[in-house]
Structure 1
Amino acid sequence: MKKSIYLGITLILAASTVLSACGDKNESSSTEKDNTQTATTTDTAKTETETPAKEEEPKKEEAEPFTVSLRHIQISDAQKFRKAILDDVVKKTEADVPGLTIELDGVEDQVNRFTKLPAEMAAGNPPKIFDLFGGAGDALKYAKAGRLLDLTPIIAELGIGDKFLNLNQFTLDGKVYGLPIGGSTEGFFYSKPLFEKYGIKEPTTWDELEAAADTLSKNKITPFAMGSKGAWVPNMLVNTLIGRYAGPEAIDGFPAGSQAWNSPEVVAAFSKYQEWEKKGYFTKGELGLEYADMLNQFVTGKAGMMFDGSWRSSVFKDQAQAGDLTNQVGFFTMPGVPNGKGNQLAVNGNYSNGYGFSADLTPQELTAVKAFIKNMYSEEMQLRGLLEDGLLPSMKLSDESIAKVEDPIVKQVMQILGNSGGAFSHFDSTVASDVYKESESQIQKLIAGKSSAQEVADAMQKVQEKALAAAK
Structure 2
Amino acid sequence: MRRIIPYRLAVLAAAMAVLLTACGVKSTEVTTSSDEKIITYWNIGTEGADKEVFQYAVDEYNKNTESGYTVESISEQNDNYKEKLIVAMSSGECPDMYTSWSGGPMIEYIEAGFAQPLDELYEKYGLKEKYMDAALAQATYDGKLYAVPVYNVSLAGIFYNKEIFERYNLEVPSTVSELEAVCDRLLEEGIIPFALANAPKWTGSMYYQCLATRYGGLEPFRKAAMGEGSFEDECFRYAGEKIQEWAAKGYFPEGTNSLSEDDGQAKQLMYQEEAGMLLGGSWYIGTFASDSPEFYEKVGWFSFPAVEDSDADPSIQIGTIGDQFISFNCEGEKLEEAFRCATYYTTDGAKELMVDVGKIPPTTDASELITDGLTRQILEAAAGASSVQLWYDQYLPSSVAQIHLTTCQKLFDFTITPEEASRQFEQSMENYLAGQ
- Fold conserved between structures, TM > 0.5: yes
Name which of 58, 61, 67 aligns with 2:38: 67
Aligned to 2:431: 466
The answer to whether residue 251 in structure 2 is matched with residue 281 in structure 1 is: yes
Q: Deviations over 1:391-415 (max 9, x none)?
A: 2222211xxx634422221122123
Aligned to 2:410: 445
The answer to whether residue 367 in structure 2 is matched with residue 402 in structure 1 is: yes
- Whole-angstrom CA distance in 2 between matches of 1:232 and 1:157: 38
SS at match of 2:129: coil
Number of residues paired by the alignment?
399
Aligned to 2:61: 93
Name which of 251, 262, 275 aligns with 2:232: 262
| Cα contact 1:149–1:356 (8 A) shared by 2 | no
- Whole-angstrom CA distance in 1 between matches of 2:219 and 2:347: 33
State the Cα distance separating 1:173 from its structure 2 match: 1.8
SS at match of 1:90: helix
Q: Which runs of 5+ in 2 are unaligned?
A: 4-34
The answer to whether residue 97 in structure 2 is matched with residue 132 in structure 1 is: no
Letter in 1 for 2:122: I
Aligned to 2:359: 391
Letter in 2 for 1:154: L
Aligned to 1:296: 268
- Whole-angstrom CA distance in 2 between matches of 1:467 and 1:335: 33
SS at match of 1:451: coil
Aligned to 1:6: none
Aligned to 2:340: 371
- Whole-angstrom CA distance in 2 between matches of 1:314 and 1:118: 28
- Whole-angstrom CA distance in 1 between matches of 2:84 and 2:183: 39
Moved more, 305-314 or 244-253: 244-253
Aligned to 1:208: 178
Aligned to 2:29: none
Aligned to 1:150: 117
Q: Which runs of 5+ in 1 are unaligned?
A: 4-63
The answer to whether residue 205 in structure 2 is matched with residue 231 in structure 1 is: no
SS at match of 1:124: coil
The answer to whether residue 117 in structure 2 is matched with residue 117 in structure 1 is: no
State the Cα distance separating 1:71 from its structure 2 match: 0.9
The residue correspondences of 1:163-202 to structure 2 (distance < 5 A) are 163-165=130-132, 166=134, 167-181=136-150, 182-202=152-172
- Whole-angstrom CA distance in 2 between matches of 1:236 and 1:352: 18
Q: TM-score, normalised by structure 1?
A: 0.80
| Cα contact 1:124–1:147 (8 A) shared by 2 | no
- Whole-angstrom CA distance in 2 between matches of 1:384 and 1:323: 16
SS at match of 1:95: helix
Aligned to 2:400: 435
Letter in 2 for 1:244: R
Name which of 299, 302, 316 aligns with 1:329: 299
Q: Deviations over 1:62-85 (max 9, x none)?
A: xx9921111111113xxx223223
- Whole-angstrom CA distance in 1 between matches of 2:2 and 2:213: 15
- Whole-angstrom CA distance in 2 between matches of 1:420 and 1:143: 29
Letter in 2 for 1:359: N
- Whole-angstrom CA distance in 2 between matches of 1:96 and 1:273: 51
- Whole-angstrom CA distance in 2 between matches of 1:326 and 1:142: 38
Name which of 83, 88, 91 aligns with 2:51: 83
Q: TM-score, normalised by structure 2?
A: 0.86
SS at match of 1:185: strand
Instruction: Tell me the C-alpha RMSD between the 2 structures.
Output: 2.1
Q: Give the share of equivalent positions with the same residue, in percent.
A: 24
Aligned to 2:422: 457
State the Cα distance separating 1:352 from its structure 2 match: 5.8
- Whole-angstrom CA distance in 1 between matches of 2:322 and 2:244: 28
State the Cα distance separating 1:341 from its structure 2 match: 4.6
State the Cα distance separating 1:449 from its structure 2 match: 1.1
SS at match of 2:71: strand
Per the alignment, do residues 394 and 435 of structure 1 end up closer, same or farther by CA in structure 2, a change over 3 Å counting?
A: same
| Cα contact 2:187–2:193 (8 A) shared by 1 | yes
The answer to whether residue 274 in structure 2 is matched with residue 309 in structure 1 is: no
| Cα contact 1:213–1:281 (8 A) shared by 2 | yes
Between Structure 1 and Structure 2, whose CA radius of gyration is higher?
1
Letter in 2 for 1:377: T
Per the alignment, do residues 419 and 85 of structure 1 end up closer, same or farther by CA in structure 2, a change over 3 Å counting?
A: closer
SS at match of 2:280: strand
| Cα contact 2:328–2:335 (8 A) shared by 1 | no
Letter in 2 for 1:150: P
Moved more, 252-261 or 305-314: 252-261
State the Cα distance separating 1:96 from its structure 2 match: 2.8
Q: Deviations over 1:350-378 (max 9, x none)?
A: 13632333333463x22421321221233
- Whole-angstrom CA distance in 2 between matches of 1:412 and 1:161: 26
SS at match of 1:254: helix
Letter in 2 for 1:221: I
Q: Deviations over 1:81-138 (max 9, x none)?
A: 232233232122112323333222110112111x1111222233211111112112x1
| Cα contact 1:316–1:328 (8 A) shared by 2 | no
